[in-house]
Structure 1
Amino acid sequence: MDKQLNQLTLRSKVTITLEELSVLFHGNGQRFEELAADILKLEEENILQPVKSAGQTTRTPSVAYRYRINKSKLQADFHVELHRYTSQFHSAIRLDCYYSMPPEIFLNDLPFIERIQTYLTEVGFPQESVPAPERSAALVGDEKWIDEGGGREVLERIGLWNVMKIVPVSDPLMMAFNVKIVMNPQQFHLIVENKTTYQALLPILSETVFSTLIYGSGNKIVKSIEQFDWQFPIQKANHTFYYFGDIDRSGITIWNSLNEKRQVIPATPFYEACLSKSPFKGKTNQRKDIKAIENFVTAMPCGPKVESLLEDGHYYPQEVLKSSELREIWRNWSWNIMNGKA
């Protein structure tokens, strides 16, 4: 009956009809007596509660035409089930987070967790790092599961992401190096959203205290930043990332998504320089990510001005700053960073 209880747990409605219970428990062609026995057992366990106003069958044994599902009882039973699975699974598989989540999340994850359990039992922990599709195929028999099927989130929930030695498959970072300081213990990195800004700043990279200039290529940076440690393996250094993008809803959302992956500081001098110019009108059809804007506003002093600007239907592309202005800002700001003034 575990399968049927799981289906009751997943059900969004709080009531269920006798006809729906019939399909759930026995499909078509089942004997009424068997169905009634199952339903009455769930009544005794207080999982199903008869809706009296819906009436009862005249057949023996008599059952209600409609039932209310006792979700709190199912939740308690679910916690007992979680404890049972914890005792059965490999000790490295952590189920703690599911106690505070809706049961359906665990029930959806369970088939994959069971396959991972089999993998750990038969193979053990991987010794070499491999691309995500290869590890995905080995774990659950689906090469797209980690990148496209929510597999990474499942592995993070059960505490196995870091030990599975997975190399994310994404576009490589497009970046230039400042060879003069690439081995310094303090490493600064500037990410810019657009190609025009990247090309304008590239000639003076060696004149700054930055180790890299990274071309974000719009939304691509959110995935490609995962490649940073592989492409720039200076592990003992302290890495600080700055970001400069368009001052519009899309640009702020990119920064926020990137900041969730790796702490990234808005490059305030560039943003302040944009705000000193006349704004552009338009881009009113962009998705409004309220949380992203709130995070951006609190991340730098000129944030409130940005919020007001967007509400008025204005924006700034990075191209509002000329190449000469971009270079001058980076030179001056760069040395202020090194001297602890920015």
Structure 2
Amino acid sequence: MEIKVEKLINEQKQKTVSLITLEKRLKKRLGDEVSPWFYKELANAILALEEKDIIEPFKNAKTYSRDARIKEKYKKKKALMVDEKTLKQELLTSFHQNISVSYYLKHLEEYHDMKEKVKMISEFLKGCYENMPYLSVNERSYEIFEEEKFLASKEGKKLLANLKLSLETLYCYETYEPFFHIGIARTKNENILIVENKDTYFSIKKLFLENIHSWDNIKFSMIIYGEGNKITRSYEYLEEGHRLAPPLPSF
């Protein structure tokens, strides 16, 4: 983010930098890649450029409404070019051997924005050991970044893909939305009845408990309360339930 912000500031002819205008230009340039943490990252970039003496706030400038750490107006002081040689050297010598740096060697601007998170992943990998306990993806994300949702986010998945890492490499696993159900489907040929409405689910569940296991002459071995469209986020959980289902008793 810092390099993108610096480039936009350097591109403009005016010495006055309006955060509102900069925000709009940055969103337009990022397009679909606007992060959920956009305003926090923008403020961090502004603070970094201020610390490097690239910009300084006007004394009477109002506080930026999206982040109280920065102001609405700044003035340019000097331009700073990113040292690409240093970034490449850092990529080639600083990180754990399991991290692939080929993508970021070709996209140094992106690396500059993400290098702190790359460092965090590298430090984690250096501390890994054989038979290390697995955690859920959110738990591992908080351990590495102190951001519970980052690894499972679009940005987190993209970072792992760029580094050619997987959740398995980080000793973690995805979790899925559980659901209410009765019965269990033990084979792929068994029918499952998914009911969207809660009241209907409990009515059919009552019939199921009375050994009525069919609807319109179609037999089913499991009823799921789908909660509208929520069930579509739970198919993996359903597969897990199938794998863990106890075998049928033999007589």
TM-score, normalised with respect to structure 2: 0.50
Relative contact order (C-alpha < 8 Å, sep 6+): which is higher? 2
Greater Rg over alpha carbons, structure: 1
Which structure: greater helix fraction? 1
